[in-house]
Amino acid sequence: MAIPYESLYQKVQIVINNKMEEFQYFGYNAITKEDLWNYCVEKKWRKKEIDTLRLHEVVATIFTVTSSELINYAQVKGLKENSFQIEITAEEMNHLFHKKLTNDTEES
């Protein structure tokens, strides 16, 4: 998978590595460097021109990311990606939502 803004990513590798050590210290071993970077790109900087960010802004953002922010973001993203991947035909929908007549309603 290609890393967005690869050149900027390479410039802040030492900061990312430091943040990853912090996450691992607290037992968050499932978080990857790419997860951290993608979170910053997609969430923290989504309304900014990333190419014009100053290096100190990028570093400050990375250092302020908390594990709970990152985990919540990953959970929401996972739910959004997997929410409607089930394909149901019209017949199956009708079968699922069709009101069945019971013996009680037939007798009335």
Whole-model pTM: value is 0.72
Contact indicator for 32, 80 with CB cutoff of 8 Å: no
pLDDT in tens, the chain (108 residues): 678 899 999 999 999 999 999 999 999 999 999 999 999 999 999 999 999 999 999 999 999 999 999 999 988 888 777 665 566 677 877 777 776 655 555 555
Q: Is the dihedral of CA 61, 6, 24, 79 positive or negative?
A: positive
Contact indicator for 77, 41 with CB cutoff of 8 Å: no
